[in-house]
Amino acid sequence: MRDFLQGNRRGKLIDWLKIDSWIDSGLYGAWIGFRDWWSAYSSFFGRFEIKGFLRACNELACESLTLSVAGLLVVLTFALPAFEIAQGKINLSDEYSVTFLDRYGNEIGKRGLLRDDSVPLEEIPDHMIKATLATEDRRFFDHFGIDVMGTFRALAENARADSVVQGGSSLTQQLAKNMFLTPEKALARKIKEAFIAVYLENHYTKPEILKLYFDRAYLGGGSYGVEAAAQYYFGKSIREVTLPESAMLAGMFKAPTRYAPHVNLAASRARANEVLSNMVEAGYLSEGQVYGARLNPARIVERGENKTPDYFLDWAFEEVQRLMHGKPNHILVARTTVDLGLQKAAENALEDTVNKFGRSRNFNNGALVSMETDGAVRAMVGGKDYGSSQFNRAAHAYRQPGSSFKPYVYLAALEHGYTPDSTVSDGYVSCGRWSPKNYSGGFRGRMSLRTALAKSINTVAVKLSLEVDRGTVLANMEKMGIKHLKKTCSMALGDNGMTPLEHVGGYAVFAAGGLEVRPYAIEEIRTIPGDLLYNHDRDEPPRKQIFDPKAVAQLNSMLQTVVNAGTGRRAQLDYTNAVGKTGTSSAYRDAWFMGFTGQYVTGVWYGNDDFTPMARVTGGSFPAETWKAFMTAAHDTDNIPNIPGVDPHPLQVAEQARIAAVMSQNTNAELPVPPPAENVKDMSTATRQVLQKLSELLKDAPRLKPNGQALPGRAETPAAGSPSSSLASAANTDGTPPPAPAPAATEPENAASVEQNANAPVPQ
């Protein structure tokens, strides 16, 4: 065959047969070579034989190699996500700095870092750095992000003590957790933490990592970073702290709440003494140099019993970042929905239960969320101890709701023609190869829907979910904003994970009569100068009616039966109606009580972070009792709205009758109208405007001056002709001359004398 090349206009012969022969001979030679190699390999290992100790070593090496390769593949699956997390957040970690106010405008905490007050590493005292390294990571400047020797040493010490006495995480790993990961205790998180630590070591110098650690570590009292902690505990900058104060701060890195001096001063000073010993052992200081610090421990600034709602603030900070995403403002002031009185009551109710019964009944954590019927979250407790674990179980822990999920199924049934009095059969039902069983075992025959919900019959809930279609139930959940649930056979029994915040938001829809409810934490966001950037009432869309009010009213009446005559009896309240539902997941891993009054919707969860079973803890036991304790403390008025579908409580009816009788007997008296029930604790707009006007008048009024010589310890009445204005004169706008002031008393008055002379004639 000829291929005519136009370039040189010559015919060139290509021997295709030679090329084909070369390929064939090459493949044949390769095959013969491989076959000879395989024959020799097989012959060698056919004669190869190892006995005794060498064989054991060979087997161990082979197994180790196999497991190492498998482990490497598993670990690598976490490497890329970890690096993506680090790269995605490395430049956004300082984006927002937010000062938070409670619902009444009082400052309650901060989140984020203020760029203008960060102390450079060079200005942090040397003894603060040495105390931290001696206690947290002595090999910080030697390892590559993971202290292998330190990890093995910690494992040995923990095994010897049969408990966790030393941590194996390096300082860089702790920084990786604080900056990029959640505090949840899980193997996946630990692997990501290790990879991010290596990533940080390759992108930052050791001093930069140390500086980031000092700025990001939580040190109790709502303080993030050593500068904020020094200001909070000692009333001074970190630049000025002494050796004993540095030892106290360094001791709080391990467990801020446990060793915070305003919580437990004795434990904090004992921990500081351990830090001083660590500095001596590490060779940073001599025993003589720390002797004075041992004799003169740090003294703290008294802060009273203020306790910041840290779990709530963490969630509120997430909400601020979501609301302000893409906007240029980064330094903000946010007024939140939290009520510190309700927050303290929630924390006390949950902590008391865990401390009293947690050890004996094998549960070590819990969560509580309480909101008003419009979604304003008033209290949030994400765990028993924020210092030991900052993981917010209220907002981020997905736990099985158990039977507390059943009201969602019953609502779908009521919307499809069922009534509370419709009869259903408690009998065998199956979905594929699965069939549910009741908690008490056996079947009870025919019963009404009301009884089935009150007794928490599993078979009836599953039958209803199959009859109305499980897709309908999921569609209802999506209307409530819960879109991650899956269609399963046991869906009606709460086998899908839900967070307490989501669950309480779902029950708030029932309390609101079927209106849409979205839990929220932020009322308004402003800049430092006061410019309004966000207002919830202005910027959020109006709430929609997403469910039939009649069906919701019927469901609420059924939930009242659960509390009055069913599994939730321990949640009964003496002064108002309470409705709700208990929930217990399989093997007693989760226990819930979800309920509401006409004012507050509250959910309580108890369980273990590692999903180990509790000792037969059900939703009708400790969760219901905690719910009752909190709700009893939360309601401070008799003017509680009625629950849709539930008759008013007898005590509330009696109170309304009493007020009506008083009004009829005092027809000439003008009794004050009670505040709106849905916002008992909030000021009305008119009240807020009046108080603001009074504040302006007080600021503008000149200071009153005494007419004569003042007696020691006694205030004098201004002269009648004094031109100084006052609130009385400012309020007297009708032209009527004010009454002359009464003459000064000759003796100091007390409450008793004022009361005795109340009817005496006023001198003119």
Q: Which residues are annotated as catalytic?
A: 136, 403
Largest CA distance in the chain: 138
DSSP for 90-108 reads TTTTTS-EEEEE-TTS-EE
Place of tokens 């217990």: 584
Whole-number Å distance between alpha carbons of 470 and 558: 21
Distances (CA, A) of 63 to 45, 46, 60, 69, 562: 18, 21, 5, 10, 58
Whole-number Å distance between alpha carbons of 557 and 551: 10
Whole-number Å distance between alpha carbons of 645 and 556: 6
> Residues 403, 493: contact at Cβ < 8 Å?
yes
Per DSSP, helices labelled H in 142-186 are 148-161, 171-180
The tokens for 581 are 């539902």
Whole-number Å distance between alpha carbons of 557 and 652: 18
Whole-number Å distance between alpha carbons of 644 and 552: 8
Beta bridge partners of 335: 101, 524
Whole-number Å distance between alpha carbons of 370 and 385: 18
* Closest to 387 in 3D by CA, of 521, 267, 275: 267
Distances (CA, A) of 397 to 311, 382, 501: 13, 9, 9
Edge to edge, the sheet with strand 579-584 lists: 377-381, 365-372, 600-607, 590-596, 579-584
CA of residue 447 relative to chain centroid, distance: 41
> Residues 82, 199: contact at Cβ < 8 Å?
yes
For residue 511, give every residue at least 6 positions away whose Cβ sits within 8 Å of its Cβ, in sequence order, or none: 373, 556, 596, 598, 601, 643, 644
HSE-up (13 A, CA, CB side) for residue 47: 5
Element housing 426 (H / E): strand 423-426
HSE-up (13 A, CA, CB side) for residue 331: 8
Buried b (16+ CB within 10 A) or exposed e, 471-499: ebbbebbeebebeebeeebbbbbbbbbbb
Whole-number Å distance between alpha carbons of 467 and 417: 12
| Amino acid making up residue 699 | K
